[in-house]
Amino acid sequence: MNPASTAINAETPMKSGSRLGRLDIARGLALIAMAIYHFGWDLEFFGYLVQGSASQGWWRIFARCIASSFLFLVGFSLVLAHGRAIRWQPFFKRLTQVVIAAAAISLLTWFFMPQGFIFFGILHQIALASLLGLLFLRMPVWITVALAAAIIATPVYFRAEIFDHPALWWVGLSTVNPVSNDYVPLFPWFGAVLLGIAAARIMQSTGLLRLLQGGIKPQWLERLLIFIGRHSLIFYLVHQPVLIGLLYGVSAIFPPSPAIQAANFVQQCTVQCSADSDPQLCRIYCGCMLENIQSNQLTNLLKSSTTTDEEREKLSTFSAQCVAKTQEGQPVQ
């Protein structure tokens, strides 16, 4: 959800180029929250959490709050950096960095996770939002807020099959959301950027920006969060390889529990089976497959997709037995 870009790292000059310390702290907190969510996703990926845990319940809400905070900061920082006059050179420099990073994320996930590769994630959204946001830097605030509300509400009340074409998935109005490990389309997420723009302009006009000056205590935490906030793009790109590397090492020493592996196997099996069959029958079939795998001491198949010819032959036999039990309506004890 989980769970970072130019505007997360946009310059926020006040007078004489000073920065708003608490805004950098807010970026740092958002990035730490994102790393926590991604760590949960990684635990799921390595089998320490049941599949789907990071995309349901409070984890799902947590991920949406993180994405919203990032995009709100995109709009907020855009006003502070370019509200008086668009500084085209630094703007395009940052935009180029984000576009390159977004393209790299898409390319890497295409190779390593092709079934859920990131074609329009948070970085892609930030790149597009940074461009579109320029149109609202001097627009009346009430129009910006009204449009933000409309953009956020639109996917709830309107979707159309014309947007089901892959070339239009980035819009976010398709009848079924495409599968992706990070999907942050224009609707509804650009609404959070517009709210950030509106908030910054209101704070500018009312003198409330001064509330963002200063820091927090303890000072070591302030320094850490400011450092992360001012190097947000690097943190975003580096934190996942670090977390995955650490978990890979841990999994070699402390593998996931058999109970979670079994639950993940049944869940994945049921999802795949349900694409063509009745979900209730699929649960019976997958439970039967799990029982056969466990009783024949082939639990290594629960954590690895690599099988030998002998194992594939056994799985084929198990499958035929379980299909027969499913058709007979005999639940597995």
pLDDT, position 5:
38
Q: Which amino acid is at 302?
A: L
pLDDT, position 80:
94
Summarize the confidence of residues 9-33 as an average pLDDT.
72
Report pLDDT digits (tens) over 152-194.
Answer: 999 999 999 999 999 999 999 999 989 899 999 999 999 999 9
Distance CA 176, CA 23 (A): 36
Closest residue by Cα to residue 113 from 41, 57, 65: 41
For residues 76 and 313, the model is more confident at: 76
> Chain-wide mean pLDDT for the chain?
86
Summarize the confidence of residues 1-23 as an average pLDDT.
51
pLDDT at residue 36 greater than cutoff 50: yes
pLDDT, position 8:
43
Query: Which band of pLDDT confidence, cut at 50, 70 and 90, is reported for residue 225?
Result: very high
Distance CA 99, CA 116 (A): 20
Report pLDDT digits (tens) over 232-266.
Answer: 999 999 999 999 999 999 988 988 877 887 887 78
- Cβ contacts of 162 within 8 Å, gap of 6 or more: 168
Question: Residues 3, 38: contact at Cβ < 8 Å?
Answer: yes
Task: For the chain, give the longest Cα–Cα distance.
Answer: 79
pLDDT at residue 26 greater than cutoff 60: yes
Write down how long the chain is.
333
What is the DSSP-derived secondary structure letter of residue 323? H
Summarize the confidence of residues 218-232 as an average pLDDT.
93
Q: Is 56 helix (H, G, I), strand (E, B) or coil?
A: coil
Report pLDDT digits (tens) over 286-315.
Answer: 888 888 887 776 766 666 556 677 777 877
Question: Residues 212, 21: contact at Cβ < 8 Å?
Answer: yes
pLDDT at residue 132 greater than cutoff 60: yes
pLDDT at residue 9 greater than cutoff 60: no
Summarize the confidence of residues 63-82 as an average pLDDT.
95
Share of the chain above pLDDT 90, in %: 58
